[in-house]
Amino acid sequence: MAEGLRIDNLTIAFDRGRQEAISDLSLQVSPGEALGLVGESGSGKSLASRAALGLLPANAKVSGRITLGDRSLLDLSPGQLQAIRGSRIAMIFQDPMSSLNPVVRVGDAISQVIRSHETVSRGEARRRAIELMERVGIRSPAERATSYPHEFSGGMRQRIMIAMALAARPGMLLADEPTTALDVIVQAGILRLLDELRRNEGMGLLLVSHDLAVVASLCDHIAVMYAGQIVEEGRAGDVLFRPRMPYTVGLLASTQRSKSLRRLASIPGRPPAPGERPNHCRFADRCPLVTDTCRAGPIPMFDVGEGQRARCVRTDKVPSLGTDAFVRDPLAVDA
Amino acid sequence: MPDPILQTVDLGKTYGARRRFWQKPANVPPALADATLELRQGEILGVVGESGSGKTTLARCIALLERPDTGRVLFEGEDLTKLPEAALRRRRRYIQTVFQDPYSSLNPRQRIGDTLAEVMLVHGLASRGEQRDRVAALLEQVGLPATAAANFPSAFSGGQRQRICIARALAAEPKVLIADEPVSSLDVSVQAQIVNLLLDLKERLGLSVIFIGHDLQLINFIAPRVIVMLGGRIVETLPEGSSLADAKHDYTRALLQAVPTLEKLDAAYRLSQQQNMA
Q: What is the pLDDT of residues B220-262, one digit of tens each?
A: 999 999 999 999 999 999 999 888 888 889 989 888 888 888 8
Whole-number Cα distances in Å, B267 to A156, A191, B161, B261, B271: 32, 20, 37, 10, 6
Cα–Cα–Cα angle for B104, B108, B112, rounded to 5 degrees: 105
A335 interaction partners in chain B (CB closer than 8 Å):
143, 157, 159-160, 162-163, 190, 193-194
**Whole-number percent of chain A with pLDDT over 90:** 59
Residue A35 amino acid letter: L
**B4 with B39: CB under 8 angstroms?**
yes
Distance CA A147, CA A145 (A): 6
CA B79 to chain A, closest CA, distance in angstroms equals 34
Most B-contacting residue of A152, A214, A231, A254 (CB-CB within 10 A), to test interface: A254
Residue B194 amino acid letter: I
Single out the residue of A75, A57, A79, A77 nearest to residue A66, CA to CA.
Answer: A75
Instruction: For residue B50, give the nearest of A183, A237, A255 by CB distance.
Output: A183
Q: Under an 8 A CB cutoff, do B260 and A217 touch?
A: yes
Question: Chain B neighbours among A 186-245 (CB < 8 Å)?
Answer: 186-188, 191, 210-214, 216-217, 237, 240-241
Q: Under an 8 A CB cutoff, do B188 and A211 touch?
A: yes
Domains defined for chain A, CATH in brackets: 5-219 (3.40.50.300), 241-332 (no CATH)
- pLDDT bracket for residue A249 (50, 70, 90): very high
Strand-pairing partners, residue A19, are A14
Distance CA B218, CA B100 (A): 15
Whether the pLDDT of residue B168 is over 60: the answer is yes
Distance CA B89, CA B14 (A): 24
Instruction: For residue A263, give the nearest of B196, B220, B258 by CB distance.
Output: B196
Instruction: For residue B260, give the nearest of A214, A331, A332 by CB distance.
Output: A214
pLDDT digits (tens, 9 = 90+) for A61-71: 999 999 999 99
Strand order in the sheet with B95-98: B95-98, B176-180, B208-213, B44-48, B225-230, B233-238
- pLDDT bracket for residue A179 (50, 70, 90): confident
| pLDDT at A97 (0 to 100) | 73
Whether the pLDDT of residue B77 is over 80: the answer is yes
Closest Cα in chain B to A272? B157
pLDDT digits (tens, 9 = 90+) for B130-155: 999 999 999 999 999 999 999 999 98
| pLDDT at B18 (0 to 100) | 55
Question: Which of A129-143, B4-18, B196-210 bottoms out in mean pLDDT, i.e. has the lowest?
Answer: B4-18
Count Cβ atoms below 10 Å from residue B16 Cβ, excluding itself.
9
Whether the pLDDT of residue A335 is over 70: the answer is no
Task: With H, G, I as helix, E, B as strand and everything else as coil, classify residue B32.
Answer: strand
**B131 with B149: CB under 8 angstroms?**
no
pLDDT digits (tens, 9 = 90+) for A111-151: 999 999 889 999 999 999 999 999 888 889 999 999 999 88
Instruction: For residue A331, give the nearest of B158, B200, B269 by CB distance.
Output: B200
| pLDDT at A103 (0 to 100) | 95
- DSSP states of A177-220: STTTTS-HHHHHHHHHHHHHHHHHH--EEEEEES-HHHHHHH-S
**Mean pLDDT, range B177-193, rounded to an integer:** 89
- Residue B48 buriedness (CB in 10 A; 0-12 / 13-18 / 19+): buried
B254 interaction partners in chain A (CB closer than 8 Å):
185
| pLDDT at B224 (0 to 100) | 92
- pLDDT bracket for residue B15 (50, 70, 90): confident
Q: Under an 8 A CB cutoff, do B194 and A191 touch?
A: no
| pLDDT at A334 (0 to 100) | 44
Cα–Cα–Cα angle for A300, A305, A307, rounded to 5 degrees: 80
β-strand pairing of B176-180 with B32-40: unpaired
**Mean pLDDT, range A317-333, rounded to an integer:** 68
Question: Which of A6-15, A247-256, B31-40, B166-175 bottoms out in mean pLDDT, i.e. has the lowest?
Answer: A247-256
CA A86 to chain B, closest CA, distance in angstroms equals 30
Single out the residue of B88, B83, B69 nearest to residue B25, CA to CA.
Answer: B69
Q: Under an 8 A CB cutoff, do B214 and A183 touch?
A: yes
A305 CB-side CA count, 13 A: 7
Instruction: For residue A265, give the nearest of B162, B192, B257 by CB distance.
Output: B192
Whether the CB of B258 is below 8 Å from some CB of chain A: the reply is yes
- Residue B278 buriedness (CB in 10 A; 0-12 / 13-18 / 19+): exposed
Q: Provide the angle, in degrees to the nearest 10, between the axes of the packed helices B188-205 and A246-253.
A: 50
| pLDDT at A333 (0 to 100) | 44
Whether the CB of A260 is below 8 Å from some CB of chain B: the reply is no
CA B186 to chain A, closest CA, distance in angstroms equals 9
Whether the CB of B272 is below 8 Å from some CB of chain A: the reply is yes
**A31 with A203: CB under 8 angstroms?**
yes
Cα–Cα–Cα angle for A195, A248, A219, rounded to 5 degrees: 10
| pLDDT at B26 (0 to 100) | 61
Greater pLDDT, B80 or A258: B80
Q: Under an 8 A CB cutoff, do B157 and A333 touch?
A: no
Domains defined for chain B, CATH in brackets: 4-277 (3.40.50.300)
Whether the CB of A184 is below 8 Å from some CB of chain B: the reply is yes
Most B-contacting residue of A207, A255, A258, A326 (CB-CB within 10 A), to test interface: A255
Whether the CB of A305 is below 8 Å from some CB of chain B: the reply is no
| Mean of per-residue pLDDT scores for chain B | 89
| pLDDT at A331 (0 to 100) | 46
Task: With H, G, I as helix, E, B as strand and everything else as coil, classify residue B242.
Answer: coil
